[in-house]
Amino acid sequence: MNVMVVGSGGREHALCWKISKSKRLKKLYCLPGNGGIEKIAECVEIQPEEKEKIINFAVDKKVDLVVIGPEAPLVNGLADNLEEKGIKVFGPNSKGSKLEGSKIYSKEFMVKYNIPTSTHMSFSNSQKAKKELENFKLPYVVKADGLAAGKGVLICKTHEDGIKAIEELMENSKFGSAGKKILIEEFLEGVEASLLCLVSKNKIIPLESARDYKKAYDNDEGLNTGGMGCFSPNPLFNKELKTHIKMEILDKIEEGLQNEGILYTGILFIGLMVNKNNAKVLEFNVRFGDPETQVVLPRLKNDLIDVLEDTIDGSIDKKELKWSDNKCVAVVLASGGYPEFYEKNKKIIGMENVDSDVIIFHSGTILKNENYYTNGGRVLAVTALGESLEKGREKVYNNIKHVEFEKMQFRNDIAKL
């Protein structure tokens, strides 16, 4: 089978890594890929936003299955267009992708189907938004409505912070058109949790749980990032919580998809805030999470091509999924200054010295003359399995010592419970 993955980050490296192990794989392409992916797939310099080029390439190379990594091409209808050409696609159509493409639409969906979430208001006028701030209890959250690469969420501890957030998003266009409209919502207390779910023609099948660390620095300090580390499974997910999530969230999402006339196939990644075996939805993402994918896929025993195909054709069953009992930990090595200003093109050394059972997923790297260089904010995810979270964590941090690049930064408290 010829398979094509669209994207260039750590999530796409994890997908390519798992797909490359399939006995059914004939040829693997990644558009555009990165330095690490080049070792396991043919990388082609076509960007995720170059829709026509992607479609033409898939047709020319007789690609049987396309896995779309990032959210933007999904929102822009790439899955719809590929399906029109008779190509199997893992990823929702543009109608389903609106659940991530618009935070306001997503909130309205949750409210309509009684899915627990935060109280909120939406605004398209910055002056009206500023006037309403006094009606929100501190702290509160200001969110860009559109896609902002996981960074358009600003937690405001004072009303001055709120004013600044509104101005940054709506008046200064910090995230471009994504901030034309915004949400202001209550700050939810609890522990964040991530749940990746397969969705097969609106039937939701949860994968193993994970916990992501969004803040840039130890002790959850600093700005929001795309994710600085992760582990799986998340011990919060006991039987009581799983039952609550199924009845109050997953079943209601299924009902909503059906009633809204959305035929959804792909991944639905649900960001949750958990408090005393109750969960509220923070947000929906319509693709594999990053770095959640890097800790969930190493625990999956199944052939990923089988899982993706069965999801697309509607035959997937939760009982089919087999998981390792081992725990998985990933720590992101980022460029100094990330998530704000950082430099690229720093030589990476020492990766060949890590233990053979440690996986290094590349997020922002480029391969030049057999040497790797940094090419993004999040550069690598050092990942390991262990009998316990403690052992997985110990293995990761022991091996990070081998890897170096100028101004490298990482959190020291990933999976420290």
Was domain 191-320 assigned CATH 3.30.470.20? yes
Which of 231, 196, 225, 193 lies closest to 378 in space, CA to CA? 225
Q: What is the CATH architecture assignment of 123-180?
A: 2-Layer Sandwich (3.30)
Q: Provide the β-strand partners of residue 329.
A: 231, 384
Q: Are 58 and 1 in contact (CB under 8 A)?
A: no
Domain boundaries, the chain: 2-94, 123-180, 191-320, 327-400
Q: Could you give the 3-state DSSP secondary structure of residue 280?
A: strand
Topology of domain 2-94 in CATH is: Rossmann fold (3.40.50)
CATH annotation of 327-400: 3.90.600.10
pLDDT (tens place) for every residue of the chain, 417 residues total: 999 999 999 999 999 999 999 999 999 999 999 999 999 999 999 999 999 999 999 999 999 999 999 999 999 999 999 999 999 999 999 999 999 999 999 999 999 999 999 999 999 999 999 998 988 999 999 999 998 876 788 899 999 999 999 999 999 988 888 889 999 999 999 988 889 999 999 999 999 999 999 999 999 999 888 899 999 999 999 999 999 999 999 999 999 999 999 999 999 999 999 998 899 999 999 999 999 999 999 999 999 999 999 999 999 987 789 999 999 999 999 999 999 999 999 999 999 999 999 999 999 999 999 999 999 999 999 999 999 999 999 999 999 999 999 999 999 999 998
Strands 140-144 and 378-386: what pairing? unpaired
What angle do helix axes 103-112 and 94-101 make, rounded to 10 degrees?
100
